Amino acid sequence: MPTKKLKFILDTSDKKHHLKLLDVDYLGNGVYTSEIQVNSNGFMCKRIFGFDNDEYFLAKLNAMLNNNQGEATLMDMQADSFLRFNFLENNTIQLTGYLVEQTEVTHSLEFSFNLDLKKISKFVKDFEQMVRANI
């Protein structure tokens, strides 16, 4: 029986920036794959994004939110692409990322935008449910 594929969407209030992880699929042994879509002030990327540090990322994300400081990085430990959440002042989270595809010509997008802390609360809750279901 196929498992339900999840999605995570982070929008900003100005609608010029968003991050979407669509069709998140758990492959086993802590490995996930998804389609990532980023819009950062008109620069866009749509590609496959994998990650394999779910529990570590979740622990760092919760510590960051509980302590109002720090960062949490979602990544595949064998790849160069990543998403990083940094806690800034005034309940703001800075989302930075680097997405790269190595082919005959290297394609990459490096981006950064800020999110209100309230915008990521659903993301954290849903991500935690996903991780707990796969432990």
- Residues whose CB is less than 8 angstroms from the CB of residue 38 and which lie 6 or more positions away in sequence, other chains included: 18, 19, 20, 44, 45, 46, 97, 99, 109, 111
- Residue listed under structure tokens 């707990």: 132
Fold exhibited by the domain 6-133? Transcriptional Co-activator pc4; Chain A (2.30.31)
Extents of the domains making up the chain: 6-133
Examine the pLDDT at 98 and tell me if it is beyond 90. yes
Q: What is the pLDDT of residue 119?
A: 85
pLDDT score for 3 = 59
pLDDT in tens, 18-73: 999 999 999 999 999 999 999 998 899 999 999 999 999 999 999 999 999 999 99
1 confidence band (pLDDT: 50, 70, 90): very low
> pTM for the full model?
0.92
